Structure 1
Amino acid sequence: MANILSVRNLSKTYQSGTSELHVLQDITFDIRKGESFAIVGPSGSGKTTLLGLCAGLDKADTGSIELCGTKLETLNGDQRALLRNEHVGFIFQDYQLLPTLTALENVMVPMELRGVKEGDVLALELMERVGLGERIHHYPSQLSGGEQQRVALARAFSNNPSILFADEPTGNLDEETGDRVVSLLFDLNREAGTTLVIVSHDMELADKCDNILRLKGGKIMEETSHP
């Protein structure tokens, strides 16, 4: 099966006062199309930085990233944004819904950016799929954390992404609500055939994935696969 994401010898350093902070050092791995992949590690291990680099939200100091057949280091900021809009979905720990838009309007945003016709029909279908068909006209402030994350799930799948990056998707949720969101995430992912990349400190969540990459101190400690 072809790789949708290939990372080679990736390093990232930040300046911290007069010293340098080596956040990632010589990271190499591949993710195949359609698989689920977890990146785990303690706080400060570099996993969120790695996710941002893989999605083209930031640029590495050294190394290369090939996402959906395109080398990110050859693109400028606008070109990376276009690639994300075409191929990438996101789910964040803090939901990142637009507060002035209703739940349905939030789900429609990626489709409107792509000029999709009848996006409201698909958005409504997705809202029904995540169990929020009766909450479409509510604003984020009128929704619980779990409901906001389900809106974010619907939004993430609205542009039919090739790959979906989820950064601590259950980090702000209680266990029961988190379990429901995870179940929906994997169900939607399976139905859509999307590649799923999850950053988490939750090993129970990571164990649901096909492969697990363990980071510590900005380095790969181990990569394991589930049969």
Structure 2
Amino acid sequence: MTKILNVRNLKKTYTSGSKNLTVIDDISFSIEEGDTFAIVGPSGSGKTTLLGLCAGLDEINDGLIELCGEDLSMLNEDQRALLRNEKVGFIFQDFQLLPTLTALENVSVPLELQGAANATKEAMDLLAKVGLAERHNHYPSQLSGGEQQRVALARAFSNKPSILFADEPTGNLDEETGEKVIKLLFDLNAEMGTTLVIVTHDLELAKLNQHILRLKGGKIVINETTILS
């Protein structure tokens, strides 16, 4: 199998006044294409920071990150943005839908930016997959939290990403709604053959993944493979 994400001796330090705060400390792991991978740990353990670094949203201080075969340290900001647009999908806890666009427009805009000839049709097909075809003309404010996250799911898969990063995807949802969203996420991920990386505090969600990376204080404490039934 091909490694889609390779992290070696990663370090991230922030400067606050005269103090240096090390958030990520000598982390190494790799993820193969098609894997599902959870990053767990207590609040402040560095989970979201690690996700941002792996996705090229932030610059590392030391170490190596290879994403989709590209050494992120060798790319400038524009090149990293292009890589994300072409190969990476994102799902966030707070949905991050554009409030002035309908559900359909939120999903179709990334397709249009890529020059897709049938952007509207592809977006409608994705909304249908998440059960929101009949709500396509509704704005985010007219949708429930679960519906907004389903729109975000459709948008995340719109560019057919090689790897998808999900940061606490059920953090703002009740348990029942969260379970429905997670089922859709894993179903779409399996259908499209995407590599999935989930940051979560939910150990039950983590156990649905093939691999679990546990962080504490910016360090790896456990890197394990789960046995999926």
Counterpart CA distance in 1 for 2:39 and 2:103 is: 29
TM-score by length of 1: 0.99
**Which runs of 4 or more aligned residues in structure 1 lie more than 3 Å from their structure 2 counterparts after TM superposition?**
none
Matching residue of 1:92 = 92
Matching residue of 1:28 = 28
Matching residue of 1:50 = 50
Counterpart CA distance in 1 for 2:175 and 2:81 is: 34
Matching residue of 2:70 = 70
The amino acid that maps onto 1:19 is: K
CA-based RMSD: 0.6
Deviation per CA, 1:88-146, whole angstroms, max 9, x where unpaired?
00000000000010000000121112111111111001101100011000000110000
Q: How many residues align?
A: 227
Counterpart CA distance in 2 for 1:117 and 1:206 is: 37
3-state SS of the aligned residue for 1:172? coil
The amino acid that maps onto 2:199 is: V
Counterpart CA distance in 2 for 1:46 and 1:112 is: 34
3-state SS of the aligned residue for 2:53? helix
Matching residue of 1:129 = 129
3-state SS of the aligned residue for 2:79? helix
Matching residue of 1:174 = 174
Counterpart CA distance in 1 for 2:77 and 2:108 is: 23
Counterpart CA distance in 1 for 2:149 and 2:67 is: 26
Counterpart CA distance in 2 for 1:66 and 1:155 is: 25
The more displaced of 10-19 and 154-163 is 10-19
3-state SS of the aligned residue for 2:134? coil
The amino acid that maps onto 2:87 is: H
3-state SS of the aligned residue for 2:133? coil
Deviation per CA, 1:6-60, whole angstroms, max 9, x where unpaired?
0010000111232111100001000000010000000000010000000000000
Counterpart CA distance in 1 for 2:131 and 2:171 is: 21
Counterpart CA distance in 1 for 2:69 and 2:48 is: 22
TM-score by length of 2: 0.98
The more displaced of 180-189 and 10-19 is 10-19
The amino acid that maps onto 2:99 is: P
Residue 214 (str. 1) matches residue 214 (str. 2): yes
3-state SS of the aligned residue for 1:21? strand
Counterpart CA distance in 1 for 2:94 and 2:34 is: 26
Unaligned runs of 5+ in 1: none
Residue 140 (str. 1) matches residue 126 (str. 2): no
3-state SS of the aligned residue for 2:23? strand
Counterpart CA distance in 1 for 2:223 and 2:113 is: 36
